Amino acid sequence: MTGIGNTSAPADADQCAPARVGDELPLLRERGQRQVFCGLAGIVWLHRKIQDAFFLVVGSRTCAHLLQSAAGVMIFAEPRFGTAILQDRDLAGMADCNDELDRVVAELLARRPDIGTLFLVGSCPSEVIKLDLDTAAERLSREHEGRVRILAYSGSGIETTFTQGEDTCLTALVPEMPASDDPALLVVGTLPDVVEDQFRRLFEQLGIGPVHFLPARQAGELPPVGAGTKLLAAQPFVGDTIAALGKRGAELIAAPYPFGIEGTRAWLGAAADAFGVSQGKVDDVCEAPIARAERGLSRYRQQLGGRRISFLPDSQLEIPLARFLARECGMELAEVGVPYLDRRMMGAELELLPRPERLSEGQDLEVQLDRLRADRPDLTVCGLGLANPLEAEGLTTKWSIELVFSPVHGFDQAADLAELFARPLNRRARLAF
């Protein structure tokens, strides 16, 4: 297996059934070979965000190489992630992996007193040999009680997309969160610190509070959750976390995602409604940042307007970004492909999404590539593994993973978000001369 997961779907593979979203939008549902990055990629942005956490992948050399190359540019003297490599003897069931894991964890904790929370991250190899990391985390937590919190989650590439690694990580944190039924807003999904600070200021000006973020900057500072907690999703791929928080009594606020001016205004407006703040107040608070964002966006509208774009299924950001690019930048939507369609998380977005030529869920790679070649859009958003071959065929591409690594939420990043799509088009135009 390679770092770029190339996994197959369940038993109904090769079926291609038409479906409908609401009354209007037909959905092409596909099952077949997929090409996506695996959930270990989430460690790259999660370890940057949660500053006292260490991510120990229990996997193969391939997993270690994936992590090194994905996060390589951010390795400082002491990275806060590593891989406990399963050897051939482990994989053949000839050694007790648990003994080895206990030894590795003990050594790591002795060497790194800065670790407050240790995540044992499952991988394809650990899942294939059925190494039970949940039980291992419980055992190790007892052993190191009072010193460190130890949790387990899966980052494997088996039947998942790369952003689901964050969802499984955050879901693992939910049972650890303290209980409180006091009214509060909880923003769910990793945001860069600079964006989190911008949103904190906007919520403060709106008079909404207290506001907490999951994940928090310190894993030890977990926000409370209970019947008074209203959830506002900042990322569309945290559906399992939202469900787990719902079981603790919290309630999801239906809203589009804060991409672009319109999405951010609607996201803040939905939170305001939930907290009894008037839309007039939201307009007042948003007036200056919207004016700034409008000025920044205007030149990208000229560059992007009228250009056709396709999204291959990869990150779960496809629908919100397509909505932003079509409604605010004037792009035309060819195919919008999503790894899976979570209607609870995507309902408000689907109401805003201009009708694409095609909305698809899942992937049957070769069939989808044939459609892409027939569509020949001006820009294709896809995974890293597909970008170079498609560029070689003369298609212009954008790596979807870059959209998760970059600060793109909120008013002040709206122009930066548009720029990420304009850049490959400009590069292609320069190469043409």
Give contact residues for ligand SF4 (rule: CB under 6 A): 1, 3, 5, 38, 40, 59-60, 62-63, 66, 123-125, 156-157
Closest approach of ligand SF4 to the CB of residue 124, in Å: 3
Closest approach of ligand SF4 to the CB of residue 86, in Å: 10
Closest approach of ligand SF4 to the CB of residue 66, in Å: 4
Cβ contacts of residue 203 below 8 Å, gap of 6+?
Answer: 185, 209, 211, 268, 271
Closest approach of ligand SF4 to the CB of residue 228, in Å: 38
Tokens 């994940």 — which residue? 215
Which residue number, 198 or 316, has a Cβ lying nearer to ligand SF4? 316
CB of 64 closer than 8 Å to CB of 37:
no
The one-letter amino acid code at 313 reads P
Which residue number, 62 or 363, has a Cβ lying nearer to ligand SF4? 62
The one-letter amino acid code at 97 reads C
Closest approach of ligand SF4 to the CB of residue 72, in Å: 14
Closest approach of ligand SF4 to the CB of residue 57, in Å: 8
Closest approach of ligand SF4 to the CB of residue 165, in Å: 9
Closest approach of ligand SF4 to the CB of residue 62, in Å: 5
Which residue number, 2 or 135, has a Cβ lying nearer to ligand SF4? 2
DSSP character at residue 105 = H
Cβ contacts of residue 70 below 8 Å, gap of 6+?
Answer: 3, 40, 41, 44
Whether the link from the prior residue into 210 is cis, omega within 30° of 0, is yes
Closest approach of ligand SF4 to the CB of residue 102, in Å: 22
Which residue number, 5 or 258, has a Cβ lying nearer to ligand SF4? 5
Which residue number, 42 or 236, has a Cβ lying nearer to ligand SF4? 42
Which residue number, 156 or 264, has a Cβ lying nearer to ligand SF4? 156
Residue ranges in 86-209 assigned as alpha helix (H): 88-91, 97-111, 124-128, 133-143, 164-173, 193-206
By beta carbon distance, the residue nearest ligand SF4 is 157
Which residue number, 59 or 296, has a Cβ lying nearer to ligand SF4? 59
Query: Rounded to an integer, what distance in angstroms lies between the CA atom of residue 41 and that of residue 55?
Result: 11
Closest approach of ligand SF4 to the CB of residue 67, in Å: 8
Task: List, as one string, the DSSP characters of 203-225.
Answer: HHHHT---EEEES-SSTTSPPPB
Tokens 């991510």 — which residue? 55
**Cα-atom radius of gyration of the chain, to the nearest Å?**
22
CB of 391 closer than 8 Å to CB of 58:
no
* Helix, strand counts (H, E) of the chain: 17, 17
Which residue number, 155 or 263, has a Cβ lying nearer to ligand SF4? 155
Report phi then psi at 45, rounded to 5: -90, -25
Which residue number, 85 or 290, has a Cβ lying nearer to ligand SF4? 85
Query: Rounded to an integer, what distance in angstroms lies between the CA atom of residue 11 and that of residue 187?
Result: 36
Tokens 């991409």 — which residue? 259
Which residue number, 63 or 131, has a Cβ lying nearer to ligand SF4? 63
Q: Which of 230, 212, 296, 304 is nearest to 260 (CA)?
A: 296
Which residue number, 122 or 320, has a Cβ lying nearer to ligand SF4? 122
Closest approach of ligand SF4 to the CB of residue 399, in Å: 17
DSSP character at residue 33 = B
CB of 397 closer than 8 Å to CB of 424:
yes
What sign does the dihedral 204-208-214-219 (CA atoms) show?
positive
Q: Which of 403, 229, 242 is nearest to 319 (CA)?
A: 403
Angle at 186 between CA 181 and CA 188, to 5 degrees: 135
